[in-house]
Structure 1
Amino acid sequence: MIQMKMSKKKKIHITGSVGSGKTTLAKKLSIELGIPYYEIDNIIFERHLSGDVRRSDKEIVNILDEIVTGDAWILEGTCTKKWIVRSFAAADCIILLDIPYLVRLKRIIFRYLKQIVKLESANYQPTFSMLIQMFKWNHKFNSVNKIDFYQLTKNYLDKIIVQTRK
C-alpha cells in the first residue's frame, strides 16, 4: 500500500519506534524509487570501531540541511529534537510506522539474536545493555515519542501517512 502512494514522492521521512520497520521500508523504497536513504542515527553519531561519537548540534543541522535541500531523499529514524522539523517541512510525505508494541518487541529480540550470531549487521555494538535500551525506547514510544512527533508535525498533518500493520 505505501509503495503505491510513494511513486510520485521524492522526499520521504519515515519515523516510528525501534523495531517498527523504518530501515527495512527505507531500503525497500530506496531501491524501488531510486532515491538515496539516510539513517538519522548516522547523522547524529559519527561511527567508529571504538564506539559512537555524538556530533555537535551544529554539525547535525549542517548534515541534515545538506540532505533535505536535495532533490530526492528518504530519511528514516526517530527523533524529537526541534532541528528535525526542517525535514518534516521539506518532505513530500511523512510516514509514521505505528506498529503494535508486542510486534516491535518480538522484532527487537529477533534482530538482537540475528546480530549476535552475525546473520545481520548493525551500526552499533549489539550488547545486552543495548537490547535493554531498545526495550526502554520501545516502551517509551507510545507515551512520549509519538506525542512529541505529533506536536512537531502539527503544521504538516496533511503529509502524514500512518501505517499500523506490517
Structure 2
Amino acid sequence: MGDIKKIHIIGSVASGKTTLAKKLSRELDLPYFELDNVVWERQQTGDIRRTEEERAEYLKQIVGMEGWIMEGVHNEWWVEESFRHADVIIFLDTNYSVRTYRIIKRFILQKLRLEKAHYTPTFRIFLKMFKWNKYFEENGKPHFFEAFKEVQDKVMKVSTIKELNQRIYSLRTTMPAEKE
C-alpha cells in the first residue's frame, strides 16, 4: 500500500479487527499490536491493568515506531495519539448480526480449545461480549465519529471483506509509484 506504514483498525467486538491486523501484518511485513495488550499486561498468573502512565508510555513507544498496525475497540482519549499518527484508520463496520454470530462461534471454538484467547472464556465474559457489541453500536461508533473529527479524512469505513479488498486495491492503484 505504498507509503502507508501506520494503520489503525477499529471496530466492535467480533468485527474482524485481529484477523485483518494479522493478515495485513503478514502482507505488509509490519508488526501488529492489540490495544487490549496495551491496557493489560498479560501474565501467567492473570492479567494486570497497566496504570495510565504505563499505558501511555507503551502506546507512545508503538506509535513512535517506523511502521505498525494497531487494532482495538478502544476510542477513548488515550488512543488519540495513535489515530493522529496513523496513515489510515480502517473502521470495520461489520453488520451487527454477523458480529453476534461470530461472538457465539468464537466462544464455542474457545471452549473446545480450537481457538486461543488472551482470557479465560467464561460464560460471564461471553455475555459481556454481547453487551460490549451493543454498547459499541449505540455509543462507541457515534462517539468515534464525533470525538475524532480531525482524523476523519484518514478513515476508511468498510462493512465487508469484499468492500475492504476493493478499497485497498483502489489505494494501491491510485498511489504514486515508489521511487527506486
* 1:95 aligned counterpart, secondary structure: strand
Larger CA Rg, structure 1 vs 2: 2
Deviations 1:72-107 (A, max 9, x none): 000000112211000010000000000010000000
Deviation at 1:48, TM superposition (A): 2.1
User: Paired residue for 1:140?
Assistant: 135
Deviation at 1:147, TM superposition (A): 1.3
In structure 2, distance between residues paired with 1:39 and 1:139: 21
The answer on whether the counterparts of 1:7 and 1:33 sit within 8 Å (CA) in structure 2 is no
Identity %: 47
User: Paired residue for 1:31?
Assistant: 26
Deviations 1:94-152 (A, max 9, x none): 00000010000000110110010010101111110010010100111111000111123
**32, 37, 44: which is aligned to 2:39?**
44
Letter in 1 for 2:44: L
In structure 2, distance between residues paired with 1:135 and 1:154: 27
In structure 2, distance between residues paired with 1:71 and 1:8: 11
Structure 2 stretches of 5 or more lacking a match? 162-180
User: Paired residue for 1:55?
Assistant: 50
The answer on whether the counterparts of 1:99 and 1:164 sit within 8 Å (CA) in structure 2 is yes
C-alpha root-mean-square deviation of aligned residues, in Å? 1.0
* 2:89 aligned counterpart, secondary structure: strand
**132, 154, 163: which is aligned to 2:158?**
163
**114, 125, 128: which is aligned to 2:123?**
128
User: Paired residue for 2:69?
Assistant: 74
User: Paired residue for 2:144?
Assistant: 149
Deviation at 1:58, TM superposition (A): 0.5
Deviation at 1:49, TM superposition (A): 2.6
Structure 1 stretches of 5 or more lacking a match? 1-5
The answer on whether the counterparts of 1:22 and 1:76 sit within 8 Å (CA) in structure 2 is yes
In structure 1, distance between residues paired with 2:24 and 2:128: 28
The answer on whether the counterparts of 1:85 and 1:152 sit within 8 Å (CA) in structure 2 is no
In structure 1, distance between residues paired with 2:146 and 2:118: 29
Deviation at 1:32, TM superposition (A): 0.1
In structure 1, distance between residues paired with 2:33 and 2:65: 12
State how many pairs are aligned: 161
2:123 is equivalent to residue 90 of structure 1: no
Deviation at 1:7, TM superposition (A): 4.5
Kindly report structure 1 stretches of 4+ aligned residues shifted beyond 6 Å.
none
In structure 1, distance between residues paired with 2:19 and 2:147: 24
